[in-house]
Amino acid sequence: MSTRNSGTGASSASVALVKVDTAATVADLANSTDGLTALKAGIDAISTGTIEPRLMAGTPYYVDAAMANDDADGTTPAKAKKTINAAIGVGGAGDIIIIKAGLYTENIVMDVASMELWPELGTRITPAAGGNCISIQAAFCKIWNQGGSLFLTPGANGTGIVTTAAGTNAYISDVRSNCASSADIGFDIVGDGAVLNNCRCADALVAAIKIQGSKTSAIDCCVGGTVVDDSIGIWVTNSASKVRIKVCGSQGYAAAGFQVDAGVTDAVVEGCNSGGGDGCRIDNGTRTTWPDYSFDDVITKTNTLSATGAETVEYNLFQLTGSVKILNLFGHVTETLTGTNTDCFLEIWSANGRDRISKDDSGNTLAQLAIGSLIMKLDKEDKTLVVADASAGPAMIDQTDIKEEGFRLVQDYTGGAGVDTFIRFSHTCGAGGTGAIHWHAIWEPIGEGCLLAVA
């Protein structure tokens, strides 16, 4: 429990939510030769009502899942309510609901303004009838865990915490929402002015954190998914303005790690990171800034060769959207190649056409290239790939004709709509060929461009 000073200049000590702040008691404690006697004097003063028994103006109510029912008045731990909703029902504005660690199976509705939930570490909530764990429907409510964490398991297609339009200026700290690939959203912030601090969400189907309210902040939050199609890590939408997302991380959300929708204005995404299966960021907002944003700019793809006869085989390695700059593109052999492996090259391809990245007529002959050998795009597009055969000893390779390794790629937009566009590798074998090449692309976006490894 925390200890606070009343501001009167007197020393204070806390027992649950009580304080000792009278000058007489302080003198007793300071002058007594018997500390126990002095402590007893302070406790007697509290019990007789001589000393103000609360740190806050509101009333504390206690909840304990181990209680038999909600019949008690909730005013002491011994008289705790069994359910959180029952305690909220007897509380008023500014009151505190102190929740003992345990499992609470109920759909909690915070519909009293300025009320606080204080759950102990180990408090777990799962909805009784599916859907949402907690719905904040009044202004200035707070979930404060005093260094601990509140654990939520929302129901199928439900939400961990939702703040309605009436739930403005909510403060939500140290909450974990485990959507378990069943619930839609970890945190759905509709009311304006909310603060999420050190919150976590796992495996949401739609979005881990969905921010719809203006002037909302998400600070030091972390979300992780299982690469569900169309899922979003942190999503700003509904024309929200002046949203602040600071030092947050996302991974495993396939549609986008961070998405800012059209109509959103003046958002800031600062010091955040995205990677590990995230789709690229999407920013359709107005005046969004992204200071110190980091993303997965080194992507890899293992290309297992599979020619079964005399044929040319093409393999999609990386998918392009928009425009990107490729800083470096190379592969190294991880399984010795077999077969003839002639006319090997890289190209940019869509169903509407192709353009070479390296020489595509009489390209490289890789033959039985050894493990550890290096294959690089290091020259102009009319030149073959540069190869260092590891079986021939150490080697140095470098570009010869241009000063910059980087080059730009543009997605096919035939007909005015984006067409699936890929970087692909092509090789020809006379009678089948196997082996594996581990490709790397180091890239950066041009505008909202994106490059992802093909699954």
Residue 123: its pLDDT value, please? 96
Strands (E) across 44-85 are located at 60-63
- Evaluate if residue 20 carries a pLDDT over 60: no
Tell how far CA 124 is from the center of its chain: 21
Q: Read off φ and ψ for residue 42, nearest 5 degrees.
A: -65, -45
pLDDT confidence bin for 6, thresholds 50/70/90: very low
- 23's enclosing H/E stretch is helix 23-31
The residue ranking higher by pLDDT, 332 or 392, is: 332
Cβ atoms of 180 and 158 closer than 8 Å: no
Q: Could you read off the pLDDT of 225-236 as tens digits, one per residue?
A: 986 778 999 999
pLDDT bucket at 448, cuts 50 / 70 / 90: confident
CA 130 to chain centre: 24
At 129 the pLDDT is 84
Q: Give 348's DSSP letter.
A: E
pLDDT single digits (tens) 170-198: 999 999 999 999 999 999 999 999 999 99
Please give the average per-residue pLDDT across 144-164, as a whole number: 90
| % of the chain exceeding 70 in pLDDT | 85
In this predicted structure, what is the pLDDT of residue 227? 64
CA geometry: angle at 219 spanning 190 and 216, to 5°?
25
Mean pLDDT across 310-328: 95
Q: What is the pLDDT of residue 48?
A: 59
Q: What is the pLDDT of residues 65-109, one digit of tens each?
A: 999 999 999 999 999 999 999 999 999 999 999 999 999 999 999
- The answer to whether the predicted template modeling score (pTM) of the entire model surpasses 0.85 is no
At 45, the pLDDT band (50, 70, 90 cuts) reads low
CB within 8 A of 48, min separation 6: which ones? none
Mean pLDDT rounded to a whole number for the chain: 88
Contact 45, 51 (CB under 8 A): yes
The pLDDT of residue 13 is 36
Which pLDDT score is estimated for 19? 40
pLDDT digits (tens, 9 = 90+) for 366-401: 999 999 999 999 888 888 888 988 888 887 776 555
Q: Where are the domains of the chain?
A: 1-55, 60-283, 298-453
Radius of gyration for the alpha carbons in the chain, expressed in angstroms and rounded: 31
For the ranges 154-163, 216-225, 404-413, 414-423, the lowest mean pLDDT is seen at: 404-413
| Higher pLDDT pick, 61 / 398 | 61
Taking the CA atoms of residue 56, residue 214, residue 136 and residue 102 in that order, the dihedral angle to the nearest 10 degrees is -80
Residue 307 pLDDT > 50, yes or no? yes
CATH top-level class of 60-283: mainly beta
